[in-house]
């Protein structure tokens, strides 16, 4: 075996890398167990504990040290379906943006076109901007649409009479800016909320933002936080020198009220102590453990967590820094500072014209420290001196010294006010704070009056800082709201249940595969088991290194991968058995077995990988986790199945150790199979046609039960203390909602899943409350003494449902096309692509039909949703996997020297028979783990695992009885599919 040393090095290197990636998870889990033990069930105390050590080193490798926060960022995170929490999709109101850009015109045709566009957007894949332009054209108005947007504020961006294409570009750019700004605002709000490992991402090509908040249990607070409108404001500021005496007073007040032990240092307790003395003490090294530092911490509770803004002046004396920044604190201490400032005795001494606000994020040079600014509210309402609606444009650029700056332009009204504000600030060299969402984005100093409304904002900015600030300023004049159009809440109880189910199914699945491989393949099975276990370790390590989120479908993917991990070994071992039967030595049989099995292994796994790739690009949330796990599992399975097992074989052969690839009872299994598949193909065609017609009939007559993510609406999972009458629940909810409600048993007889389309078009908080009120009203009437708990809920707006259905259709079509193209390229004949397409379409129709036929008959949910689409695509991948192995053997047999003397039907029949053992054994291992997943994997993925289970069975049938026979019929009359003939010798 060539390259043995390189492979050994790769195995060791990958193992070390995986262990390193997983070590962060081990460390954070230990820290969190310590926090649980310390808190004794008090969640607030547990969070406080974790906050307090967020910046502390918890993992020391010698060459690198990691704080808890840094280790947490690199752990293998759990998804919401495992940990519990909240998942929401926010939709930015582009219609509101369009109205604001046009200064809310009263024109009837403008508003009619926009209303029609909003209505169509719920069922269309086009952007609202494009729909609006089309609808306006349809009104027949002679006024160019660009005229409405050619306002004074937009003068430099769009002009009256500009074409629709120019207008579309303008509106789309402004929409993108609004989405980016909303993303920044939501990111900041979530970071301030304090959620561990949040995930927030823009869904590219849409006006939506996906947010996942694991561990959140205060849904109302989250909704209020995310949906509150953000407003850009400019404030005057207080100078640090003005505010420092107040901070001293707050510090002394806290020292007294918190009853801190008195110190022996007279200077510290003297109420007339000078500021300079305390500043000198604050300049001391806080990391030292001497008594003076300890005493300082006890006597100065505020200054122990909030460092005043000071610097080393002349004669090594501490002095107060100029500007509006009055202090700084470690990220972990900001909550403590806020708690101090919100105490009643402290709030009573803070004047009404002072607000203390934190900076939006740490500076690059101090990554764990936030700055605190002193803001001066103005007027009788203590508001800002100017709001962001006066800004006409802002952009990031570089000044003459090549430093990143932000250029800002205002309208005429804003320019007049800005001139007054900057003139006043320049007199005292004060700063003007730029505030969004009560967070300071920048507080530049003003050195001179600024006339004309054009300003340049400079500071210690990075290029990213100026881009962010420019986006914030531009969006200040375009207030848009973000509303929740999709929402899923998973309670911690259901999350823990999912973890238990997933772990149980994974363990049982591993054991089954390991036992079967040893029982069937003897010594070789033991080698395959080593590869399976190493493969699982590699999968977990790679997922951790990619910062992937482990979801319940992801665990299903791991369990499924364990079944398919042996696929490569089965192909190799079956080939080794063929070589041994031909009289070769074990050493030669092993070498030839790996050599001849490699093309089939690669072809079969690449087709499945391509399906995973399609799922990755089209899927979201848990489906994305499944796709990631599937693709990673295929890569690691190939590595361990081909290379790791080969190294073990070589090691055993070098030591003349006895290697067996079967037991006496399994040695002859299907070895000399000679079934007449081609001769009996027409009868099997008829069976398939009859089944397909029955499935089509059920699909068109009975239809499907669509999941909430495909039809829209709200779904709730409810658990009662005792079993309930399903019909009683349905009747009471129908009465409450005044419309038909779908109620199904969800697992145990005391659990139900309720789906309602009541207020399906409404996604507001008010609609949510009304639906929940009616749900509670109906549930409480079922059995007065039977208490219930809502374990999870999901809300999907109609536009999201339409989008999900469209993405699912595109994903399925694209998967079929990409598989067909790959097979065409690989086998160079359209007949092979057509045969594979016939088999995969046959499998998809039967799985769909069975879901329609069995819905309402079997005691579990068979909804058509995202999980089902993932299952269908997985089935297509594995169906082609089996099919490609047969095709590879046909190609191999066609190219043999004596192939021209055989009928093509005989060749195909021989190929199916010789690969039959591999097809059956691989399918059996996958069926084993899928059966485990179906039984023990939990109710959440029962329908998902059932779809794959029946799909694998049907796919195995179609690979044997349909795909290859179809190639024969499509090639009929073309002996050996036009195999190349030997060239006649040339006579000189």
Q: Mind listing the pLDDT tens digit for each residue in 629-667?
A: 888 888 898 888 888 888 888 888 888 888 888 888 877
* pLDDT digit string, tens, across residues 891-928: 888 877 765 566 788 888 888 888 888 888 888 888 88
3-state secondary structure 366-408: CCCEEEEEEEECECCCCECCEEHHHEEEEEEEECCCCCEEEEE
Give the Cα separation of 854 and 771 in Å (integer): 30
Give the Cα separation of 445 and 462 in Å (integer): 18
Asked whether the beta carbons of 836 and 820 are under 8 A apart, the reply is yes
Instruction: Name the pLDDT band for 548 (thresholds 50, 70, 90).
Output: confident
Asked whether the predicted pLDDT for residue 860 surpasses 60, the reply is: yes
Share of the chain above pLDDT 90, in %: 9
Instruction: Name the pLDDT band for 782 (thresholds 50, 70, 90).
Output: confident
Helix and strand element counts for the chain (H, E): 37, 25
pLDDT attached to residue 288: 41
Give the Cα separation of 457 and 442 in Å (integer): 9
Asked whether the beta carbons of 88 and 487 are under 8 A apart, the reply is yes
pLDDT attached to residue 17: 92
Asked whether the beta carbons of 236 and 432 are under 8 A apart, the reply is yes
Full strand arrangement of the beta sheet holding 199-203: 199-203, 208-214, 85-92, 482-490, 788-796, 713-720, 751-756, 742-745
pLDDT attached to residue 686: 94
CA dihedral sign of residues 415, 416, 419, 422: negative
Residue 490 burial (CB count, 10 A): 26
* Beta bridge partner(s), residue 86: 213, 489
Instruction: Name the pLDDT band for 48 (thresholds 50, 70, 90).
Output: confident
* Listed range (552-566, 860-874, 908-922) with the worst mean pLDDT: 552-566
Asked whether the predicted pLDDT for residue 82 surpasses 80, the reply is: no
748 compared with 823, residue with greater pLDDT? 823
Asked whether the predicted pLDDT for residue 772 surpasses 60, the reply is: yes
Terminal Cα distance for the chain, rounded: 45
Instruction: Name the pLDDT band for 276 (thresholds 50, 70, 90).
Output: very low
Asked whether the beta carbons of 244 and 285 are under 8 A apart, the reply is no
Cβ neighbours for 961, distance < 8 A, ≥ 6 positions apart = 677, 681, 684, 688
pLDDT attached to residue 615: 81
Give the Cα separation of 726 and 740 in Å (integer): 14
pLDDT attached to residue 696: 93
Asked whether the predicted pLDDT for residue 825 surpasses 80, the reply is: yes
pLDDT attached to residue 237: 92
List the Cα angle 497/504/717 in 5-degree steps. 25
Asked whether the predicted pLDDT for residue 267 surpasses 70, the reply is: no
pLDDT attached to residue 106: 87
Asked whether the beta carbons of 161 and 80 are under 8 A apart, the reply is no
Asked whether the beta carbons of 431 and 425 are under 8 A apart, the reply is yes
Give the Cα separation of 117 and 111 in Å (integer): 10
Asked whether the predicted pLDDT for residue 292 surpasses 60, the reply is: no
Q: What is the DSSP secondary structure assignment for residue 762, as one 8-state letter?
A: -
Mean pLDDT over 305-316 rounds to: 78
**What is the per-residue DSSP string for 835-890?**
HHHHHHHHHHHHHHHHHHHHTTTSSS---BSHHHHHHHHHHHHHHHHHHHHHHHHH
Asked whether the predicted pLDDT for residue 270 surpasses 60, the reply is: no
* Beta bridge partner(s), residue 793: 489, 716
Q: How many residues does the chain have?
A: 988
pLDDT attached to residue 828: 80
Measured in degrees and rounded to the nearest 5, phi and psi for residue 279 equal: -60, -35
b/e code 384-404 from CB counts within 10 Å (16+ = b): bbbbbbbbbbbebeeeeeeeb
Cβ neighbours for 958, distance < 8 A, ≥ 6 positions apart = 688, 839, 840, 842, 843, 879, 883
* Listed range (11-15, 129-133, 450-454) with the worst mean pLDDT: 450-454
pLDDT attached to residue 987: 40
* pLDDT digit string, tens, across residues 114-163: 999 888 887 777 888 889 999 998 888 888 888 888 887 777 788 888 88
Instruction: Name the pLDDT band for 216 (thresholds 50, 70, 90).
Output: confident
Cβ neighbours for 228, distance < 8 A, ≥ 6 positions apart = none
* Listed range (94-98, 201-205, 662-666) with the worst mean pLDDT: 201-205
Beta-strand ranges (E) seen in 746-811 are 751-756, 788-796
Q: Give the torsion through C-alpha atoms of 899, 902, 907, 909, to 10 deg.
A: -160
* pLDDT digit string, tens, across residues 470-519: 877 776 555 567 787 877 777 766 656 766 777 777 788 788 888 888 88
Asked whether the beta carbons of 599 and 888 are under 8 A apart, the reply is yes
pLDDT attached to residue 610: 85
* Listed range (127-131, 706-710, 770-774) with the worst mean pLDDT: 706-710
Closest CA to 795 of 845, 754, 850: 754
Closest CA to 622 of 818, 756, 490, 491: 490
Give the Cα separation of 271 and 524 in Å (integer): 84
Residue 23 burial (CB count, 10 A): 18
Instruction: Name the pLDDT band for 275 (thresholds 50, 70, 90).
Output: very low
Asked whether the predicted pLDDT for residue 380 surpasses 80, the reply is: no
* pLDDT digit string, tens, across residues 674-691: 888 888 889 999 999 999
Share of the chain above pLDDT 70, in %: 89
* Beta bridge partner(s), residue 89: 210, 486
473 compared with 853, residue with greater pLDDT? 853
Residue 567 burial (CB count, 10 A): 29
The helix/strand/coil state of 69 is: helix
Closest CA to 549 of 872, 865, 196, 217: 196
Closest CA to 124 of 757, 794, 620, 805: 805
Q: Taking all residues of the chain, what is their mean pLDDT, rounded to a whole number?
A: 81
Give the Cα separation of 444 and 13 in Å (integer): 50
pLDDT attached to residue 2: 64
Distances (CA, A) of 829 to 826, 833, 967: 9, 7, 10
Asked whether the beta carbons of 85 and 493 are under 8 A apart, the reply is no
- Prediction pTM value: 0.70
Closest CA to 31 of 275, 229, 196: 196
Asked whether the beta carbons of 89 and 226 are under 8 A apart, the reply is no
Asked whether the beta carbons of 349 and 368 are under 8 A apart, the reply is no
Residue 36 burial (CB count, 10 A): 14
Q: Are strands 432-436 and 439-442 parallel, antiparallel or unpaired?
A: antiparallel
């Amino acid at each position: 075996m060539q390259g043995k040393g390189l492979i050994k090095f790769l195995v060791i290197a990958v193992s070390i890398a995986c262990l390193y990636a997983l070590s962060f998870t081990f460390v954070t889990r230990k820290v969190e167990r310590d926090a649980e033990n310390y808190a004794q069930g008090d969640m607030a105390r547990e969070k406080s504990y974790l906050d307090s050590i967020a910046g502390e080193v918890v993992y020391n490798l010698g060459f690198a040290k990691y704080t808890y926060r840094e280790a947490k960022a690199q752990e293998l995170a759990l998804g919401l379906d495992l940990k519990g929490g909240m998942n929401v999709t926010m939709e930015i109101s582009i219609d509101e943006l369009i109205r604001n850009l046009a200064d809310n015109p009263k024109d009837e045709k403008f508003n009619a076109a926009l209303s029609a566009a909003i209505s169509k957007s719920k069922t269309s894949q086009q952007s609202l901007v494009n729909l609006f332009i089309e609808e306006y054209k349809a009104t027949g108005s002679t006024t160019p649409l660009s005229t409405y947007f050619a306002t004074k504020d937009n003068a430099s961006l769009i002009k009256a009479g500009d074409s629709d294409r120019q207008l579309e570009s303008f509106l789309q750019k402004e929409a993108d800016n609004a989405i980016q700004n909303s993303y920044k605002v939501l990111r900041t709000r979530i970071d301030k909320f304090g959620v561990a490992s949040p995930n927030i991402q823009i869904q590219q090509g849409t006006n939506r933002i996906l947010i996942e908040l694991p561990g959140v249990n205060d849904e109302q607070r989250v909704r209020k936080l995310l949906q509150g409108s953000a407003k850009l404001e400019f404030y005057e500021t207080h100078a640090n020198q003005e505010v420092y005496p107040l901070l001293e007073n707050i510090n002394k007040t806290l020292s007294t009220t918190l009853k801190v032990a008195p110190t022996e240092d007279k200077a510290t307790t003297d109420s007339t102590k000078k500021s300079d003395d305390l500043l000198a003490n604050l300049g001391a090294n806080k990391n030292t453990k001497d008594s003076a530092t300890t005493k300082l911490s006890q006597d100065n509770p505020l200054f122990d967590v909030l460092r005043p803004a000071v610097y080393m002046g002349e004669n090594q004396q501490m002095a107060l820094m100029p500007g509006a920044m009055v202090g700084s604190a470690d990220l972990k201490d900001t909550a403590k500072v806020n708690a101090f400032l919100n105490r009643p005795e402290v709030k009573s001494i803070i004047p009404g014209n002072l607000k203390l606000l934190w900076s939006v994020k740490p500076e690059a040079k101090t990554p764990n420290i936030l700055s605190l600014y002193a803001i001066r509210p103005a007027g009788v309402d203590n508001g800002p001196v100017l709001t962001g609606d006066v800004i006409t444009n802002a952009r990031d650029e570089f000044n003459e010294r090549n430093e990143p700056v932000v250029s800002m332009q205002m309208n005429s009204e804003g320019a007049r006010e800005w001139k007054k504000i900057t003139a006043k600030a320049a007199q005292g060299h004060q700063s003007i704070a730029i505030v969004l969402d009560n967070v300071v984005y920048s507080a530049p100093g003003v050195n001179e009056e600024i006339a004309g409304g054009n300003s340049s904002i400079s500071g210690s900015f990075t290029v990213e800082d100026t881009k962010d600030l420019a986006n914030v300023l531009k969006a200040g004049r375009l207030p848009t709201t973000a509303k929740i159009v999709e929402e899923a809440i998973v309670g911690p109880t259901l999350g823990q249940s999912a973890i238990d189910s997933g772990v149980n199914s994974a363990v049982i699945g591993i054991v089954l595969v390991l036992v079967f491989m040893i029982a069937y393949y003897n010594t070789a099975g033991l080698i395959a088991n080593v590869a399976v276990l190493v493969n699982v370790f590699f999968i977990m390590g790679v997922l951790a290194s990619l910062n992937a989120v482990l979801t319940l479908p992801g665990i299903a993917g791991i369990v499924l991968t364990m079944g398919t991990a042996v696929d490569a070994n089965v192909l190799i071992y079956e080939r080794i058995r063929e070589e041994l039967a031909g009289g070769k030595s074990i050493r030669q049989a092993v070498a030839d077995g790996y050599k001849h099995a490699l093309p089939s292994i690669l072809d079969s796994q690449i087709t499945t990988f391509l399906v995973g790739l399609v799922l990755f690009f089209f899927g979201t949330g848990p489906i994305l986790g499944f796709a990631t796990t599937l693709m990673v599992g295929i890569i690691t399975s190939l590595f361990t199945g081909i290379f790791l097992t080969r190294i073990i074989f070589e090691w055993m052969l070098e030591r003349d150790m006895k290697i067996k690839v079967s037991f006496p009872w399994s040695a002859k299994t299907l070895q000399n199979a000679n079934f007449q598949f081609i001769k009996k193909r027409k009868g099997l065609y008829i069976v398939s046609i009859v089944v397909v017609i029955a499935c089509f009939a059920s699909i068109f007559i009975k239809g499907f039960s669509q999941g909430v993510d495909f039809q829209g609406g709200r779904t709730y999972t409810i658990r009662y203390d005792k079993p309930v009458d399903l019909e009683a629940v349905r009747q009471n909810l129908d009465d409450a909602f005044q419309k038909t409600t779908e109620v199904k048993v969800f697992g145990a007889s005391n659990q139900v899943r309720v789906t309602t389309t009541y207020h399906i078009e409404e996604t507001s908080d008010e609609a949510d409350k009304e639906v929940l009120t009616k749900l509670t009203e109906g549930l409480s009437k079922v059995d007065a003494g039977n208490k219930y708990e809502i374990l999870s809920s999901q809300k999907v707006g109609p536009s999201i449902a339409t989008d999900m259905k469209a993405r699912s259709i595109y994903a399925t079509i694209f998967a079929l096309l990409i598989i067909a193209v790959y097979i065409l390229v690989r086998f160079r004949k359209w007949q092979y692509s057509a045969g594979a397409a016939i088999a995969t379409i046959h499998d998809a129709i039967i799985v769909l039909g069975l879901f329609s036929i069995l819905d309402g008959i079997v005691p579990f949910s068979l909804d058509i949703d995202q999980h089902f689409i993932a299952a269908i695509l997985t089935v297509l991948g594995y169906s082609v996997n089996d099919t490609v192995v047969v095709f590879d053997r046909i190609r191999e047999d066609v190219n043999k020297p004596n192939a021209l003397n055989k009928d093509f039907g005989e060749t195909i029949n021989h190929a199916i028979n010789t690969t039959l053992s591999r097809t059956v054994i691989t399918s059996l291992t996958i069926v084993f783990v899928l059966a485990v997943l179906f039984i023990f994997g939990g109710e959440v993925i029962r329908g998902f695992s059932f779809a794959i289970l029946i799909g694998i069975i049907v796919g195995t049938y179609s690979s044997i009885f349909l795909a290859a026979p179809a190639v024969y019929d499509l090639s009929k009359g073309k002996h050996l599919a036009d195999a190349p003939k030997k060239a006649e010798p040339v006579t000189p």
